[in-house]
Amino acid sequence: MTDPMELDMAESETTGNLMPVQLFQARDGALDLVQLNPGDPVVVSVFLRDAAAGDQFVVYFGEQPKPVTVASASQFVIDALFSVAELPPLGQSYEVYYTFRDGMSPKATIDLLDSTIALSAPRLHVSSFFGTYRAGVLDAWVVPSSYQLEPTLPTIGSIGEAPPNIDDLALNINRCDASGQTAAIGSIAYDNGKRTWSIDIFESLRIEKGDLLSIEMPAGPSASVQFSACF
């Protein structure tokens, strides 16, 4: 997936010879406010190579404008600071760009969210297993609302301390998106050292409403599975 924050410089100089904005607090096209320290603003960085002291430009986060004045001609990177109160509503995608003189920069699309709020949305799913299971799909569910799945978000708890009857057993967590493409996004495995089950989400990613998530047992003999996981 190409991050809109990492556009090639040659491509960036297509709109009024202006470079795109940079949002260093965003990850994979998503800005999650839970990643900010309390009171910290959202920083939109602008690169201006030929600005003079006193020049002004306007940064737009969606339809929210932020006028900025260049303090010095040697200031090539200028930050526009948006307080949380100045941001548009959460849970939507916005174009972030700026205008300078007669030009407009390329637009970056950012998903604005707060996963602490998303946790209270009716999207949580609990998968519980206690018994012996064959290879195949153990559980599957349709996501009722979009959210950002972080590696630290799902929780898992072992039911009892009995290890599975198969060494190095790992269950696959798969995602099927609206296009029908299925990919592994994580795994669930038993830690013999800690005598507990653990969950591993490979990377932060956007889960969309209507996606199908599933937990699957790989091919092989039946195995004992004893845990409860909350997504």
Q: Please state which CATH number belongs to domain 121-230.
A: 2.60.120
Q: Which pLDDT does position 117 carry in this prediction?
A: 56
Q: Residue 123 burial by CB count (10 A; 0-12/13-18/19+): exposed, middle or buried?
A: middle
Tell me how far apart the alpha carbons of residues 205 and 154 are, in angstroms, rounded to a whole number.
13
- The residues, ordered by sequence, that sit 6+ positions from 125 with a Cβ below 8 Å of its Cβ are 141, 213, 230, 231
For residue 81, pLDDT beyond 50: yes
Domain ranges of the chain: 4-117, 121-230
Answer for the pair 73, 51: CB distance below 8 angstroms, yes or no: yes
Q: Which pLDDT does position 100 carry in this prediction?
A: 94
Residue 136's pLDDT band (cuts 50, 70, 90): very high
Q: Which CATH number fits domain 4-117: 1.10.287, 3.40.50, 3.30.1360, 2.60.40?
A: 2.60.40
For residue 228, pLDDT beyond 70: yes
Residue 160's pLDDT band (cuts 50, 70, 90): low
Break the chain down into helix, strand, coil percent, rounded to 5: 5, 50, 45
For residue 201, pLDDT beyond 80: yes
Tell me how far apart the alpha carbons of residues 152 and 199 are, in angstroms, rounded to a whole number.
9
Render 62-121 in DSSP notation, one character per residue. TTEEEEEE---TT--EEEEEE-GGGS--SSEEEEEEEEETTEEPPPEEEEEE-HHHHTTS
Question: Across residues 10-34, what is the average pLDDT?
Answer: 76
For residue 180, pLDDT beyond 80: yes
Q: Which pLDDT does position 10 carry in this prediction?
A: 36
Question: Across residues 121-138, what is the average pLDDT?
Answer: 80
Q: What is the mean pLDDT of the chain?
A: 83
